[in-house]
Chains A and B, each alone.
Chain A
Amino acid sequence: MSATSVEGGPASATPPGPSFGQRLLGVFRGGGLWREAATTAAAILLALLVGAILMIVSDPDVAGQWAYLFTAPHLPLAASWGKVWGAYSALFVGALGSPTAIAETTARSAPLIAAGLGVGLGFRAGLFNIGAQGQAIWGAVLAAYVGFAWQLPLGLHLLVAILGGLLGGAVWGGIVGVLKAKAGAHEVIVTIMMNYIAMYLLAWLLTTSAFQRPGRTDPISPELPASATMPSFGLTRFHLGFILAVVAAVAVWWLLERSVLGMQIRAVGANPHAARTAGMSEARTTIITMALAGGLAGLAGLMSTLAPAPSGVPTPLSDGVVGSVGFDAITVALLGRSHPIGIVFAGLLFGAMNAGGLAMQSMAQTPNTLVYVLQALIVLFVAAPKLVSTLLPFLKGRLRKASATGGEA
C-alpha cells in the first residue's frame, strides 16, 4: 500500500467544490453506514489506547517502573497493566456492572441524547447551533419555576412543568432563528451570545425573591415537590427522562425522514439556493428548525431540574445545574453523525463514560478528567478518518472499498 493509494481513499470523498462549512457539515451528516461504524469503533479503540498511555505516563509510581524495562521487564508491564486494567474495569463496572449502574447510565445519557438531537437537527438544516447550553438553561429554569412555585394536581403539575421547559428552550432557540432569517445575523455568534445571556440571567434570577430559597443567601432555589418530579421505573435513576429522550429521537427521525417539513430542512441544509428555487422558504425553515432544536435542548435542561437525583428528590435550581450539557451535545451530535439513531448511541456511550468515570475515580483513583480526554479523543479520531486508517492499517482497504460503494448518503 503506497501513499498514493491513500489519496484515492476517504479523503477524495470531499471534492474541492463546496465551501469549508459545507464540507464540515458533510462530516456531520455522514456517509456509508459500514464506514461510519468501523471508523467510530476504531476511534474508540484508539482513544482507549491513548488513554492507557496517558494513565501510565501520568502516574509517577507506574511511570517510574519503566526505568527497569531492560533489567526487569515484568515490573513496568505488570504495573502498567494493573493500572490500565483497574481503571478501565472500574469504568465498565460503573457504567454497566449492575442494574443501578445501568440506570445511572440512562440518567446521564438522557440529557445528552435530547440536546444532541437539537444540535444535530440544526446541522441537518445547515445551522451551527452552538446555543444548546442557553436553551437548556431556559428549559431548566422554566421547568423548575413551575415545579416549585405553582401548586397543581398530581400528574398535571409534572406535565405543565415539562411543557414549560420545552417552551423555554424553544423560545430561546426560536429567537436565534428569527434573528438569522429576518436580520441576517449569523447563528454561531448569536447562539454563543445567547448562552452568556441565559447563564447570567439565571445567576441574576437566583438572587431574586421569586427564585431564591427563603433563608438562604446563596443562589439556590427551593426544592421541588414530588408532584413535579419525574417518575422512576424500578430504580430511582431509571426515570421518565430517558423514555422522553428516546421518544424524541424517534420523533426527530420521523420528522427528518418521513415528513414534508423534514424534507425541507434537509433540502435547505444541502443547498439553500436550490431549495429556494424549488419554492421552499429558507426563512421559515430556519425559524422552525431553531425553535425545534431549542425545544430539544430545553428537554435536556428540564431533565436536570425535574429528574430525581439518587436521593429521589430533584437537584434544586442553581448556577451549574445543567452542567455543560449544551457543549457536550455538540460532540454527541458530531459522533452520532447528526442522525437520530447515531445520536442515541453516541449519547449512551458518553452517558456510560460519565457514569463509569465516577467509579473510575472512586474505585481506581484515576482522575475523572481522563473520561473527558477519552471523549475528546474519540471525536478527534472520528473527525479525522484518515488518521484512523493510518494508525490502524488493516482498516484501510475496507474503508476505501466502502467509500467507493457507499458514498454520501
Chain B
Amino acid sequence: MKKALVIPAALLGAAALTMSGCSTPPSATTAETTAAPKIDYIACMVSDSGGFDDKSFNQTSHDGLIKARDELGVQTKEVESTNTKDFENNINSMVQAGCKTIVTVGYLLSDATVKAATANPDINFAIVDDNPTAAKDLKNLKPLVFNTAQSSFMAGYLAASLSTSGKVGTFGGMKIPTVTIFMDGFAQGVTYYNEKKGKDVATLGWDSAKQDGQFVGGFEDVAAGKQTAKALTSQGADILFPVAGPAGQGALQEALDSSGKVSAIWVDTDGCVSAANFCSILASSVYKGMDVAVFDAIKDGVDGTFSNTAFVGTLDNGGTGLSPFHEFDSKVSADTKSELDQIKKDIISGTITIESAAQPS
C-alpha cells in the first residue's frame, strides 16, 4: 500500500515544485498599481459564439470593457456564449450578478437583449452591431452600430489597385446585415476603381446587386474558412477580404501558405496588432471602433448620462476606417494613397454614395 501511495504524492509534489520558487512576496504597500481607484459599479459583457479571443469582433469590444476597468475603475464580469441557445441564459446570469451596464456583442444577440432590456428597466444595456426596431421605445437600450460600408469601400479600392490577377475575393461568416455591409462596400469600392481607371477587376464571392455570395456558415470554424478561401484563390483571387470573425483566419492561413501570391485585408480591428503573425500578408484592415463605443457607453452609465441614442460609427467621426498599411506601406503607390484620401473626403461629403441595405441610419 505504501508504494502505491507514493505515486500520487510524488505527482502532486512535482506539480507544486515546478510552480514554486524562493522569492519573497512584495510588501503590501507596493502591491497597488497606478490603476484608477475601484468604484462600486459592475460593467458586464456577453460575447457571441466567436468568443472573446476571436482576434476580431468580440475581442475588440472586450478591449473596451478592459479599458473601462483600467481607466474608470469599474468591476467587470463577462460570459462567453457557445451557441445561440445560450444567449438568454447568459444575459440573465449577468443580470443576477448585479451588473449595472450589460454590453451584448453582436447582431445575433438582438432578440435576447431586447427581452432582457424590457424585463430589467433599471439596468443599462448596450448592443454592438444592431439597432433593433424595438429599441426605440426602450430607454435603457443603446445601439452601437457602424457604417463599415464606408471603410470597406476604401478597402475594395485598395484591393483592386493591388491585384495583379485582376480578381479579388471576399466571403462572409453568415449572411447577416453586419457582415454583408462590409461585402457591399468592398464590392462597390472595386467597381469604383474600375470606373475611374477603366479596368475590369472582378469581385468573387459577393454580388452586391443580387445580395448573394460565399459564406462559411458560421464564425468559429477556421478550417472551413480556409476551405472557402481556397475556393476563391483557385478561381484566381489574389486579394482576400474575409468577413467571418475567427473563421476568417483561415483566409490568412491560405494567404500565408501562398508564399506571397495572395494577400488579405482584415476586418474589425487592425490585424497587424491582433493577429501579428499574419502581418506580412495583410495589406490593411477595416477597423470598427467597437472598443471606443463600448467604453463610452460604460462611461455614460458611470456618469449617469446614459441614453438610448444610437451611436453610429462613420469615417467622419472615426468610428470606422482603414488601418495603417504596415508592411505593405511600400507596395501601395503614392497615387493610390492620395486617391484613398480623396475617396474618404468624398464619402464624408456625400459625393460618393454607397448602396447597402445593411447600412445603419
Asked if A pairs with B, the answer is: yes
Binding site for B on A (CB under 8 A): 1-2, 53, 56-57, 63, 65-72, 75-76, 104, 200, 203, 207, 217-219, 304, 309-311, 315-316, 318-321, 323-324, 358-359, 361-363, 365, 367-368, 390-393, 396
Whose C-beta in chain A lies nearest to the C-beta of B21?
A67
A66–B97 contact, CB under 8 A? no
Other A-B contacts than A56-B19, A311-B119, 11 sampled, CB-CB below 8 A, are A57-B19, A63-B19, A69-B20, A69-B21, A71-B23, A217-B211, A218-B107, A218-B108, A218-B175, A320-B85, A396-B4
Residue numbers in B under 8 Å from A316 (CB-CB):
111
Picked from A68, A104, A315, A362, the residue with its CB within 8 Å of the CB of B94 is A362
Write the nearest CB–CB distance from A150 to chain B, whole angstroms. 22
B84–A71 contact, CB under 8 A? no
Q: Is B260 part of the contact surface with A, judged by Cβ < 8 Å?
A: no
Picked from A53, A71, A358, A367, the residue with its CB within 8 Å of the CB of B25 is A71
Residue numbers in B under 8 Å from A309 (CB-CB):
85, 88-89
A367–B80 contact, CB under 8 A? yes
Write the nearest CB–CB distance from B176 to chain A, whole angstroms. 4
Residue numbers in A under 8 Å from B115 (CB-CB):
311
Q: Is B334 part of the contact surface with A, judged by Cβ < 8 Å?
A: no
A310–B89 contact, CB under 8 A? yes
- How far apart are the CA atoms of A69 and B16 in the complex, in Å? 9
Q: Is B234 part of the contact surface with A, judged by Cβ < 8 Å?
A: no
Interface mask (B79-95 → A, CB under 8 Å = 1, otherwise 0): 11011111011101110
**Mind listing 22 A-B residue pairs with CB under 8 Å?**
A1-B4, A2-B3, A63-B19, A65-B25, A67-B20, A71-B22, A71-B23, A218-B176, A311-B88, A311-B119, A315-B85, A315-B88, A319-B174, A319-B217, A320-B83, A321-B84, A323-B82, A323-B83, A358-B89, A358-B93, A362-B96, A393-B8
B218–A319 contact, CB under 8 A? yes
Whose C-beta in chain B lies nearest to the C-beta of A365?
B77
- How far apart are the CA atoms of A368 and B93 in the complex, in Å? 13
- How far apart are the CA atoms of A318 and B41 in the complex, in Å? 35
Q: Is B1 part of the contact surface with A, judged by Cβ < 8 Å?
A: yes
A70–B175 contact, CB under 8 A? no
B177–A217 contact, CB under 8 A? yes
Residues A320 and B84 in contact in the complex (CB < 8 Å), given A1-B3, A68-B24, A310-B92: yes
- How far apart are the CA atoms of A304 and B89 in the complex, in Å? 14
Residues A53 and B15 in contact in the complex (CB < 8 Å), given A217-B176, A217-B180, A219-B174: yes
Residue numbers in B under 8 Å from A362 (CB-CB):
77, 79, 90, 93-94, 96-97
Whose C-beta in chain B lies nearest to the C-beta of A304?
B85
Picked from B22, B49, B92, B217, the residue with its CB within 8 Å of the CB of A70 is B22
- How far apart are the CA atoms of A69 and B211 in the complex, in Å? 62
Write the nearest CB–CB distance from A197 to chain B, whole angstroms. 14
Say which size band chain B's interface belongs to: 35 or more
Interface mask (B46-90 → A, CB under 8 Å = 1, otherwise 0): 000100000000000000000000000000011110111110111
Residue numbers in A under 8 Å from B79 (CB-CB):
358, 361-362, 368
Whose C-beta in chain B lies nearest to the C-beta of A312?
B115
- How far apart are the CA atoms of A203 and B49 in the complex, in Å? 17
Interface mask (B3-35 → A, CB under 8 Å = 1, otherwise 0): 111011000000110011111110000000000
Residue numbers in A under 8 Å from B112 (CB-CB):
311
How many interface contacts (CB-CB < 8 Å) are there between A and B? 120
Residue numbers in A under 8 Å from B174 (CB-CB):
218-219, 319
B82–A368 contact, CB under 8 A? yes
- How far apart are the CA atoms of A219 and B177 in the complex, in Å? 11
Write the nearest CB–CB distance from A63 to chain B, whole angstroms. 6
Residue numbers in B under 8 Å from A321 (CB-CB):
83-85
Residue numbers in A under 8 Å from B85 (CB-CB):
304, 309, 315, 320-321, 323
Whose C-beta in chain A lies nearest to the C-beta of B90?
A358
Whose C-beta in chain A lies nearest to the C-beta of B358?
A217
Residue numbers in B under 8 Å from A311 (CB-CB):
88, 112, 115, 119
Interface centre among A304, A320, A392 (most CB of B within 10 A): A320
- How far apart are the CA atoms of A6 and B176 in the complex, in Å? 59
Whose C-beta in chain A lies nearest to the C-beta of B220?
A320
- How far apart are the CA atoms of A68 and B20 in the complex, in Å? 7
Write the nearest CB–CB distance from B221 to chain A, whole angstroms. 11
Interface centre among A57, A316, A321, A393 (most CB of B within 10 A): A393
Residue numbers in B under 8 Å from A63 (CB-CB):
19
Picked from A53, A69, A319, the residue with its CB within 8 Å of the CB of B84 is A319
- How far apart are the CA atoms of A230 and B85 in the complex, in Å? 16
B89–A68 contact, CB under 8 A? no
Residue numbers in A under 8 Å from B8 (CB-CB):
391-393
Residue numbers in B under 8 Å from A396 (CB-CB):
4
Write the nearest CB–CB distance from B172 to chain A, whole angstroms. 11
Residues A104 and B89 in contact in the complex (CB < 8 Å), given A1-B4, A391-B8: yes
Whose C-beta in chain A lies nearest to the C-beta of B180?
A217
B84–A315 contact, CB under 8 A? yes
Write the nearest CB–CB distance from A231 to chain B, whole angstroms. 19
Residue numbers in A under 8 Å from B15 (CB-CB):
53
Whose C-beta in chain A lies nearest to the C-beta of B6?
A393
Write the nearest CB–CB distance from A390 to chain B, whole angstroms. 6
